[in-house]
Amino acid sequence: MLTAEERDRVREALDRAGGRPRVVTADGTVLDLPEPVAEALAEVLEAAADGERPLVLRSPDDLTTEQAADVLGVSRPTVVRLIDAGKLPARMVGTHRRVTLADVLAYRAASAERRHEALERITRQAEDLGLYD
C-alpha cells in the first residue's frame, strides 16, 4: 500500500499530465503513448492515488482463484464456494482451479444486477409500508 505522501505524489503526477500520462526518457525525450495505453496507465495512477491496489490483467484466459477474487472484490474462499456451487465455471490445471476473465465478468454483471434489483425491491416496499417513518 502507498503512504499518504506517495498517493499525493501520484495524484499530482496525474493532474499535471492532464489525465493523459506520457513517458519521458532519461534524455528528456517525451514519448506519447497510444490512446488505450495512456488510458490504462491513467486508470492505474487514479487507483493508486485513491489508495486502491491497481490490478493489471495481461491474459484474458486462465485467472487463478486469487485473481478472480480481486476482479470480483471478494475473498478467495468465496470464489472457491462459487465454483463448487457451479455458479462460476472453472477447469482444473493440475491441482489448481482456473477460470476465464469472461466468465468472471459475466458473473459479476449478473450478480450486480440481481443485487440492485433486490435492493430496489427492499426500498420500494419499505417506502410503501411506511417503514422509514
Partner 1 sequence: MPVLVAVLDADVLVPIVPCDFLLSAFDLGLYEPVVSTAVIEEVERTLAEDFPNLTPEAVRYRVEAMRSALEDQLVTPDPDAAPDAVNAKDRHVVAAAQAGEAAALVSNDRRLRGQVTTAADGIDALSLDEFALRLWKRSPKDVNRVIDALVAKRQRPPVTRAEMLDALAGPLPSLIAAIRSMRESTF
Residues that bind partner 1 (CB under 8 A): 1, 50-53, 69, 73-75, 77-78, 81-82, 85, 87, 111-112, 114-123, 125-129, 131-132
96 exposure class (CB count in 10 Å sphere: 0-12, 13-18, 19+): exposed
As measured in angstroms, the least distance from the Cβ of 113 to partner 1 is: 11
Which candidate, 48, 65, 43, places its Cα nearest to that of 1? 48
* Structural contact between residues 67 and 76, judged by C-beta atoms closer than 8 angstroms: no
Instruction: Write the CB contacts of 41 (distance below 8 Å, at least 6 apart in sequence).
Output: 21, 33
As measured in angstroms, the least distance from the Cβ of 99 to partner 1 is: 15
Tell me whether residue 1 or residue 31 sits nearer to partner 1 (CB atom). 1
Tell me whether residue 52 or residue 62 sits nearer to partner 1 (CB atom). 52
As measured in angstroms, the least distance from the Cβ of 69 to partner 1 is: 7
